Structure 1
Amino acid sequence: MRAMSTPPTKVSFKEQMHLAREEAILQATCRLLGEKAYDAMTMDDVANAVGIAKASLYKHFSSKEELCSAAMVQILARVRTYLDGLAAEMPPLEKLQALVRWSLERLITNEMPLLPSRNSSLRAVLMANKDYLNGLVTVSDQIGEWIVQAQAQGLINPTLPPMVVLYTLYARACDPVVTFLKDGGQYSDAEIVELVVRTCFDGLSAR
C-alpha cells in the first residue's frame, strides 16, 4: 500500500504579505546601513524607506538592534550562497579575489552594511546572536581554507598569519577608498572595484 504524501502547507495571503514586507524592511536596512552605518540610522529612516508607519515596522522587529542583527544575518547568508556558487575547480586565489570583487560591488552600491565599530552597541548585540556567529564562523572557515591553500601555493605571503589575511579581506567590504574614489569622479564603478582588488592582492610595491 502506497503511503499518502502530505500536501504542502498553504501560506495565506496575509502571511505572504507579511513576509514580503519583512523582506523589504531587511533590504532597506541593509542599504541604510551601507549609506550611514548603524549609529546614524534610525527606525524612522527604515520606515520611511519602506513606506510604512513606524508602528508597522515594530510589528516585525521590536528594536533597532533586533532589526539590524537580522539584516546582518541575511548578509552572511548571501555571502555563503555566493561562496557555495563558486566553481569547485577555481583556484583558491581566484576565489578570494572573486569574493573581494563581489563585496566591493555590493559596497559601491550601498548594498553591503558597514561593519560596526568597536564602540557600537550593535557589535555587542551581534556577538550575542547565535545565528550571526554561526554564519560568521562558517564563512570564515571557508575563506580561511582558501587562504591557507593560496599560501601553500606561494600566491599569498606565507609569513603572514592567515587570520591577518582574513581580516584584511573582510576590511575591503567597508573600505573608505571606494567612497573616496567614487566621490572623486575620475573612475567608473567597475574601474574602482578592479583598482581596489589590485591593491589588496598586489600591494603597492613595483613589480
Structure 2
Amino acid sequence: MSTLQPKVSFKEQMHQAREGAILQSACRLLGEKAFDAMTMDDVANAVGIAKASLYKHFCSKEELCSAAMVQILERVHVYLSALPAEQPAHEKLRALVRWSLERLLTNEMPLLPSRNSSLRAVLMANNDYLDRLVKVSDQIGEWITEAQAQGVINPTLPPLVVLYTLYARACDPVVTFLKESGQYSDAEIVDLVLRTCFDGLVAR
C-alpha cells in the first residue's frame, strides 16, 4: 500500500525554485569568473534578488559554491549513467569530454578552484562533494582501464594521468582562446579539442 507524500506548500515550492535559480547562476558565474573573482553580490544580481534573501539560502560564498559543485557532479553522474551500456568504453569517454566542452562553452561548467583557493579546502571537507567525486571518478576510471586493455588509449599511461587529463578538458583555456578568436564555431571548437585530446598532435 502506497503512502501519500506530504504536499509541498506554495511557500516551500517558491523557496526551492529560488534556490535552484541561485545554484544555476552560481554555476554560470563560476564558469565566467571562477570562485575567487565571484561575489555574492554578483549572484544576487544575476538571480534578481536582494543579497539578504540570498543569505537565507546560503550563509557564505563557500557554502553556495560547494552546493553548486555538488550539483555539477550530480549532473555528470546522471549523464554517465544514461550512456548506453553497450557503447564502447573509449566512445563513452569521448562523449563525456564532448559534453563537458559543450557545458564549458556555455559557462555551465564551473572552473576548478586553484590550489590556494579557500573553496578547495571547503570542498575537501564536504562529504557530499567527495562522495560524488569518488563515484564519478570510479566510473570514468573503469572505462579508462577498459579502453587501455583494448589498446584504444595508450596502456603505458597511468590511468590516473588519463583521468586528470580528461577532467582538465572541463576547464581547458584553449576553449576560451578559440572562442575569443572568432575563427571557429562552437561545434568546431569542440571537435578540435576532442581531436587534440584523444588523437594527439603527432601526424598520423
TM-score range, shorter chain: over 0.9
Question: 2:78 maps to which residue?
Answer: 81
- For 1:79 and 1:8, the matched residues in 2 are separated by 28
Matched, 1:30 2:27: yes
Aligned to 1:183: 180
- Give the CA deviation at 1:7: 1.9
Show the counterpart of 2:121.
124
Q: Distance in 1 between matches of 2:5 and 2:118?
A: 41
Q: 1:190 and 1:9 mapped to 2: Cα distance?
A: 45
Give the counterpart letter for 2:27 in structure 1.
Answer: C
What's the CA shift for 1:6?
2.5
SS in 1 for 2:111: coil
Aligned positions, number: 204
Q: Give the drift of 1:139.
A: 0.2
Q: Structure 2 length normalisation: TM-score?
A: 0.99
Q: Counterpart of 1:14 in 2: which secondary structure?
A: helix
Q: Say if 2:21 is the partner of 1:17.
A: no
Partner of 1:149: 146
Between the aligned partners of 1:162 and 1:7, the Cα distance in structure 2 is 47
Among 107, 112, 116, the residue aligned to 1:115:
112
In structure 1, how many angstroms separate the alpha carbons of the residues matched to 2:22 and 2:115? Answer: 25
Query: Percent of aligned positions with the same letter in both sequences?
Result: 83
2:89 to 70, 92, 96: 92
Normalized against structure 1, the TM-score is what?
0.98
Q: Which one-letter code corresponds to 2:124 in the other structure?
A: M
Whether 2:40 is the aligned partner of 1:43: answer yes
Larger radius of gyration: 1
AA aligned to 1:53 is A
Where does 1:131-170 land on structure 2 (aligned, <5 Å)? Answer: 131-170=128-167
Regions of 4+ moved over 3 Å: none
- Where do 5+ consecutive residues of structure 1 fail to align? none
- In 1: Cα distance, 2:77 partner to 2:7 partner: 29
Question: Residue type matched to 1:38 in 2?
Answer: F
CA-atom RMSD in angstroms: 0.6
Distance in 2 between residues matched to 1:43 and 1:169, nearest whole Å:
30
SS at match of 1:97: helix
How far the C-alpha of 1:8 sits from its partner, in A, is 1.7
Match of 2:64 in 1: 67
Taking the aligned partners of 2:159 and 2:4, their CA distance within structure 1 comes to 49
CA distance in 1, matches of 2:62, 2:113: 12
Supply the distance in 1 between the matched residues of 2:115 and 2:63 (Cα, whole angstroms): 18
Kindly state the Cα deviation for residue 13 of structure 1 after the two structures are TM-superposed.
0.1
Distance of 1:106 and 1:139 partners within structure 2: 17
- State how far apart, in whole Å, the 2-side matches of 1:8 and 1:183 are: 50
